[in-house]
Amino acid sequence: MSAPGTGPGTRGTRQIGPYTVVTRLDTGIPAHTPVSERRFIARSADGDRTVLLSTPLTGVDPQRFMAEADASRYLLGPWVLPAVELAAPGEQAWHARPYVPALPLPVALAVHGGPLPERTVQALAVALAENLAVIHGQYLTHAGLCPSAVLIAADGPRLTCFGAVRAAAPDGVARQEAPGLDLGSLPPEQAEGGQPRPLGDVYALGATLAYAATGHTMPERDELPPTLRSLVAHCLSRDPAHRPQLSEIVDELAEGSQADAAAGFAAPMRADTLLGPGWLPARLLAAVVHQSASVLTAEAQLPAQPQAPVHPVRQSGGAPPQGVVAHHSPNH
């Protein structure tokens, strides 16, 4: 029997754009844990490419969803999965990222049988904080971080669901009832309709780490490991001004020299050290390997599909389009 989220779960075949669905990525996520987009593992018609493919939830404006997917192409950092292909105008909305064998964080807790070890949560915290710092350095906000947005791969986490808050509802509209948003991870100012800002990502990071360490986004203080109690509490401050900077989070959780701290994130990322052998419990590592093997087996069993045209995203540089991604001042 496959562990939740690690084996094929799609009967028959389904075509989305040029891709044939192999399985749903989010099989095994508890029903009470929101996921802001539908995510699949899929293969190209010629069988040469396997991708993580996303489509919008019912109730999400497809145009806003695709605008955020288009903007995600600009994201940098080792722990983020930007879109590499987008649906053509007029098609059903979808976007694709390279496939990485990985478990959504809620599935990882289910496979592990409960909260993750403190070492794993610490490595997760530093990796996500460092990558969010890279994103903020691009004058972007992630605006979608929550437990289900984090995928756990053998070599570290991957951030997905970029722009879910902006896609769910426009600024100025309350988002408490927006589809797919995890209210436990949604910064209060964004729930009320405010524009996503970098310190909102810090709030969402705190909630996500609390979930990884306890199984809840808003746990009691004593439920958290001692090394995370003060940090998570500050991240979850309702007043953004009381939340820590991402560099402070990394400094608190990762050992490093003063020179490294002064160099900021231009120096080698300190998460690299924490994500060494043993960072991931053996049961989770086995589940990730099992997923990869199951996907390969399922691909071999899928019937061949007619070749369909692929619409790669525009390969352009420069700043992301105005109006698509929330901008902020350096003094966030």
Model confidence pTM above 0.95 = no
The whole-chain average pLDDT of the chain stands at 87
Which residue from 189, 92, 196, 185 is spatially nearest to 145, judged by alpha carbons? 185
Q: What's the pLDDT band for 303 if we cut at 50, 70, 90?
A: low
Q: Is the pLDDT of residue 326 over 50?
A: no
Q: So what's the pLDDT on residue 296?
A: 87
- Between CA 147 and CA 115 the distance in angstroms is 12
User: What single letter denotes the amino acid at residue 269?
Assistant: M
Which residue is listed with tokens 């064998």? 101
Q: So what's the pLDDT on residue 12?
A: 52
Q: So what's the pLDDT on residue 125?
A: 97
Q: Is the pLDDT of residue 318 over 70?
A: no
Q: So what's the pLDDT on residue 166?
A: 97
Average pLDDT over residues 175-193: 95
Which residue from 148, 158, 155 is spatially nearest to 128, judged by alpha carbons? 158
Q: Is the pLDDT of residue 265 over 90?
A: no
Q: Is the pLDDT of residue 260 over 80?
A: no
Angle at 165 between CA 160 and CA 166, to 5 degrees: 105
Q: So what's the pLDDT on residue 298?
A: 81
Contact between residue 247 and residue 133 where contact means Cβ atoms under 8 Å apart: yes
DSSP H helices, 138-194, are 164-168, 188-191
Which residue from 268, 57, 307 is spatially nearest to 182, judged by alpha carbons? 57
13-26 b/e (C-beta count within 10 Å ≥ 16 → b): eeebbbbbbbbbbb
Average pLDDT over residues 210-235: 95
Which residue from 97, 59, 94, 54 is spatially nearest to 75, judged by alpha carbons? 97
Q: So what's the pLDDT on residue 168?
A: 96
Q: What is the pLDDT of residues 38-85, one digit of tens each?
A: 999 999 988 889 999 999 999 999 999 999 999 999 999 999 999 999
Q: Is the pLDDT of residue 309 over 60?
A: no
Domains of the chain: 60-83+101-282 (1.10.510.10)
End-to-end, the C-alpha distance of the chain in Å comes to: 48
Element (H, E) at 51: strand 50-56
Q: Is the pLDDT of residue 205 over 90?
A: yes
